[in-house]
Amino acid sequence: MKVFCEVLEQLYKKVLLGVTLENDSHDYIFYLNPGVSDQDCPTATSLEWANTYGIQGRHQPISVGVAPIAVAPACLKTNSLMSSSREVMLLQLTVIKVMTTRILSVKTEFHAKEKYRDIIKILLESAKVDSKLICMFQNSDKLLCHMAAQCLALLLYFQLREKITLSNSWIAFCQKNLSEYSESNKAIYCLWTLTAIIKEIFKDSCSQKTEILKQFLTHFDTIFEVFYNSLFSQHFENCQDTSKIVNILICFLELLELLIASRIYLKLHFTCQRILFLKPSCMLEVITWPIQAFVKRKVIIFLKKCLLFKVGEDLCRGSVPPLMPPDRHVAMDMLALANAVLQAVNSGLLKTLSVDGKHSFFGGDEVQPGCEHIASPDHVILRAASLVIMKSLEIKFQNCLSASEMKVDLQRFMSELLTFLKPHLQPSLQLHNPCKWLSRVFIEQDDDMLEAAKASLGIYLTLTRGCEATESLTQGKEMWDHHTHENGYNPHCIFLFFLKNIGFDSTVLLDFLISSETCFLEYFVRYLKLLQKDWDNFFTICNNFDATESKYDISICDCVPSLVQDQSTNRTIPHHLTAPHSHIDVCTRHSWASDAPSEPLKAMMSKGTDTMCTSSLSSPRASQSLVDYDSSDDSEVESTDQCLANSKQTSLHQQATMEIQDAAGTSRDKEEFSLEPPSRPLFLKEFDTAFSFDCEVAPNDVVSEVGIFYTIVKCFQELQDAICRLQKKNLFPYNPTALLKLLKYIEVISNKTMNTL
């Protein structure tokens, strides 16, 4: 036994390094072939299996660099022998796993890969190792079962890659255990292995992954649909072991997410990939089950990913393929899901959601005696539920022709949503503006906040175009304005609250623009297009923000160290923006922007000088590949000058960040480090006659005189200057010409507005 383990350990080290094996392939089969009996699959080494079935010496190795195999003494204690057998079998599975991984890796040397391939083929064909791994699923040792599932997934993927007929024993095992719901562990390992295989397909860099997946799903298309119906027809309260159904449900959600992702990214059309959209009510009913809150949370997040076309991002270890524009069939399926969500909400789905969350600590979520429990809602559920409803409304309205129907639906569902959120948002939204709900719910999650803002903007544009086509907006202008504010979807208010959340900091906007982690580019461009044509309404809303600030003694701009001042005379420009009427009674002329991406925007997304994604903005995640960050840590910014000075070799993003801090806010030249204020204003020459900005921190009483309109214009100008500087130094990750044109136009109309004050 000791020598047997030493041989396996040496073999493991060689395979781990990718070394070419010198002996005949059959010599290694003796050590790698797991010994599994047919009765309850107890652990047994190949040596014991060989002794039992009388094959010792049939294919024993000539020499593998260690002493000849010695049979383990019969006097060893049974429990010690079983413990050693378990360790040997785990080591065997580890070697098989590493060897298969080496075959699939492009970095493995050719001759070594050929030897490994030959060994694995012999294990599959002669030793029937796949059947033995399936048999291990019955073992009570969970670690052994997990290792067997990992090995089996890699071996099955190896068969798919090598165009070898897929294991008949595996297909039969799946058909038997997924034909109906059962609480056995076999179904869990079956689902886990299927999920692992699809992950490997996504992970692989080969160009034939679509054909491989097609070959794989052909065997399981029908059985997945049968299992879906069987699982979601269960009555949770009648289950004997609720933990089993929870585990199966979680495993199946992962598999279902990958199936949907494979349909979107790889353009396949199997029934199992559409089963959620064909029968969405089954999934939505899980939220009404008396089941643990974390399961409901997973279901809602899963629905959110589906509606946002973000399925598979967290489950695929490799890079996710570029998202292609959705075809007509996918769009119709998303509409079916959105309608099902809204129907469930109309039936009281939100009332079944429990959002009373617990604070999680390293020791768990239970509060120890004597410790104070701080009650707070589960913001993950609040964000996910809100975004699911907003996105469902947007998708439905894109396929709705009746403006009156859209108005009724919007008022009903936004009322449901705001009523659901109201108890969990303190202080109440009634004091100021219902539109503030979005920034308060999503303040801790930038990507979801921008997705919600984009969905809200899409709803607004779709609804206004429908109203334009059927009625005159000017006749019911005040009522229309009241409707947008009362239901919390006015795009200008939402954008202003977003800017307030980031402190009107242009460097944050620029960081969003050069990052691929959010949809900010698409949202920002669409909003700027609206702003060009709806400038009067934006200006009036800014006035009312200032009026609200004055009425409730709230400082909207108190976080912005800026000062509006005429430097030539050293006097502060009077504040002209306060409006006497309430925030709701906005009464100006409307003109609506187009919701379709313009050609300059598509050009902006074309490949730049260094890095750029070639995807079109017509896709749901148009800005996905602007900059490739492997993780969110890569997008972090070194904020101090000392860190920036010490960084000699920086990435494109870090260099851009250095220029951001030069261009935006203070234009850091050497003179700025002195105590004297800079003489060069941040604005372009056109602004000199109207106003200029001092870069020193203003006293609170002066900041209060700076209206939010001036603050936003200043922020836009800083952003424009920063982008120009980065573009000149070839540090911007894509061609920003179209974006700069939009910002330049905003600059022109803001100049005209301020010259009239």
* pLDDT tens digits, one per residue of 259-313: 999 998 888 889 999 999 999 999 999 998 888 888 999 999 999 999 999 998 8
- Can you list the alpha helix ranges (DSSP code H) found in 664-706? 700-703
Among 44-48, 684-688, 711-715, the range of highest mean pLDDT: 711-715
Residue 389 lies in a domain: no
Give residue-wise pLDDT tens across range 6-38: 888 999 999 999 999 988 888 899 899 887 654
Question: What is the model's pLDDT at position 460?
Answer: 93
Residue 726 lies in a domain: yes
CA–CA separation, 68 and 113 (whole Å): 27
Give residue-wise pLDDT tens across range 199-211: 999 888 777 888 9
- 197 by Cβ neighbours in 10 Å (0-12 / 13-18 / 19+) ranks as buried
CA–CA separation, 174 and 157 (whole Å): 16
Question: What is the model's pLDDT at position 475?
Answer: 55
Average pLDDT (680-685) is 34
29 & 154 share domain: yes
Residue 660 has pLDDT above 60, yes or no: no
170 & 157 share domain: no
206 & 298 share domain: yes
Question: What is the model's pLDDT at position 40?
Answer: 43
What kind and span of H or E run contains 247? helix 242-266
Beta strands in 228-369 (DSSP E): 356-357
Q: Which of 22, 32, 14 is nearest to 89 (CA)?
A: 32
Question: What is the model's pLDDT at position 553?
Answer: 54
Question: What is the model's pLDDT at position 719?
Answer: 96
Give residue-wise pLDDT tens across range 544-569: 888 877 665 555 444 333 323 333 33
Position of tokens 């949907």?
Answer: 260
Average pLDDT (118-139) is 91
Number of structural domains the chain divides into: 3
2 & 85 share domain: yes
268 & 257 share domain: yes
Write out the residue range of the structural domain in which residue 211 sits: 166-316
253 CA to centre of own chain? 16
Percentages helix, strand, coil for the chain, rounded to the nearest 5?
60, 5, 35
Q: For residues 154 and 204, is the Cβ–Cβ distance under 8 A?
A: no
Residue 76 CA: distances (Å) to CA of 45, 46, 73, 81? 14, 17, 6, 6
Q: For residues 32 and 92, is the Cβ–Cβ distance under 8 A?
A: yes
149 & 295 share domain: no
150 & 192 share domain: no
Residue 107 lies in a domain: yes
Give residue-wise pLDDT tens across range 626-635: 333 333 333 3
Q: For residues 409 and 396, is the Cβ–Cβ distance under 8 A?
A: yes
303 & 159 share domain: no
Question: What is the model's pLDDT at position 249?
Answer: 93
171 & 236 share domain: yes
CA–CA separation, 738 and 630 (whole Å): 28
- The pairing of strands 563-566 and 571-572 is antiparallel
Question: What is the model's pLDDT at position 7?
Answer: 86
Question: What is the model's pLDDT at position 586?
Answer: 35
Residue 176 has pLDDT above 70, yes or no: yes
Question: What is the model's pLDDT at position 474?
Answer: 55
- Per-residue confidence at 450, pLDDT binned at 50, 70, 90? very high
Question: What is the model's pLDDT at position 554?
Answer: 53
Question: What is the model's pLDDT at position 402?
Answer: 82
CA–CA separation, 310 and 296 (whole Å): 19
Question: What is the model's pLDDT at position 562?
Answer: 32
Residue 68 lies in a domain: no
Phi, psi dihedrals of residue 545, rounded to the nearest 5°: -60, -45
Q: Which residues pair with residue 44 across a beta bridge?
A: 35
Average pLDDT (574-601) is 38
Q: What is the largest CA-CA distance in the chain?
A: 104
| Residue-by-residue DSSP string for 350-378 | GGG---EE---BTTBSPPPTTSPP--EE-
- Can you list the alpha helix ranges (DSSP code H) found in 365-505? 379-398, 403-421, 437-441, 446-470, 477-486, 491-501
Q: How many helices (H) and strands (E) does the chain have?
A: 31, 7
Question: What is the model's pLDDT at position 100?
Answer: 95
- 389 by Cβ neighbours in 10 Å (0-12 / 13-18 / 19+) ranks as buried
Q: Which of 650, 664, 632 is nearest to 731 (CA)?
A: 650
Residue 244 lies in a domain: yes
Q: For residues 136 and 35, is the Cβ–Cβ distance under 8 A?
A: no
Q: Which residues pair with residue 377 across a beta bridge?
A: 356
Question: What is the model's pLDDT at position 367?
Answer: 57
CA–CA separation, 706 and 628 (whole Å): 39
CA–CA separation, 50 and 102 (whole Å): 28
Residue 324 has pLDDT above 70, yes or no: no
106 & 248 share domain: no
Residue 424 has pLDDT above 60, yes or no: yes
CA–CA separation, 40 and 735 (whole Å): 64
Distance between first and last Cα of the chain: 92
Question: What is the model's pLDDT at position 52?
Answer: 39
Half-sphere exposure of 165 (CA within 13 A, CB side): 3
Q: Which of 134, 226, 242, 137 is nearest to 180 (CA)?
A: 226
Average pLDDT (448-453) is 96
Q: For residues 166 and 216, is the Cβ–Cβ distance under 8 A?
A: yes
Residue 364 has pLDDT above 60, yes or no: no
Residue 50 has pLDDT above 70, yes or no: no
Which residue has better confidence, 499 or 580? 499
Half-sphere exposure of 195 (CA within 13 A, CB side): 21
DSSP-derived secondary structure letter, 693:
E
What kind and span of H or E run contains 563? strand 563-566
- Look at residues 316, 339, 360 and tell me which one is the last residue of a structural domain: 316
Which residue has better confidence, 229 or 71? 229
Close Cβ partners of 102 (under 8 Å, ≥ 6 residues apart): 15, 18, 108, 112, 113, 116
Question: What is the model's pLDDT at position 117?
Answer: 95
21 CA to centre of own chain? 43
138 & 197 share domain: no
Q: Which of 740, 514, 562 is nearest to 665 (CA)?
A: 562
Q: Which of 421, 695, 716, 711 is nearest to 545 (CA)?
A: 711
Residue 370 lies in a domain: no
Question: What is the model's pLDDT at position 321?
Answer: 62
Question: What is the model's pLDDT at position 645?
Answer: 35
CA–CA separation, 271 and 77 (whole Å): 54
Token reading at 218: 């052909």
Residue 70 lies in a domain: no
Residue 78 has pLDDT above 60, yes or no: no
240 CA to centre of own chain? 35
CA–CA separation, 433 and 544 (whole Å): 11
Which residue has better confidence, 240 or 703? 240
Close Cβ partners of 57 (under 8 Å, ≥ 6 residues apart): none
Question: What is the model's pLDDT at position 635?
Answer: 38
What kind and span of H or E run contains 36? strand 35-36
Question: What is the model's pLDDT at position 510?
Answer: 96
- 53 by Cβ neighbours in 10 Å (0-12 / 13-18 / 19+) ranks as exposed
- Per-residue confidence at 434, pLDDT binned at 50, 70, 90? confident
- Per-residue confidence at 185, pLDDT binned at 50, 70, 90? confident
- Look at residues 284, 316, 348 and tell me which one is the last residue of a structural domain: 316
- Look at residues 275, 291, 316 and tell me which one is the last residue of a structural domain: 316
Give residue-wise pLDDT tens across range 684-693: 333 333 333 3
Average pLDDT (402-415) is 90
Residue 576 has pLDDT above 70, yes or no: no
- How many C-beta neighbours within 10 Å does residue 211 have? 14
CA–CA separation, 335 and 3 (whole Å): 63
Residue 526 CA: distances (Å) to CA of 30, 382, 493, 520? 65, 26, 15, 10
- Per-residue confidence at 75, pLDDT binned at 50, 70, 90? very low
CA–CA separation, 572 and 702 (whole Å): 8
227 & 205 share domain: yes
Residue 473 has pLDDT above 80, yes or no: no
Residue 703 has pLDDT above 80, yes or no: no
- How many C-beta neighbours within 10 Å does residue 234 have? 15
Give me the chain's average pLDDT, please: 75
Question: What is the model's pLDDT at position 224?
Answer: 92
Residue 253 lies in a domain: yes
CA angle 108, 113, 116 (to 5 degrees): 130
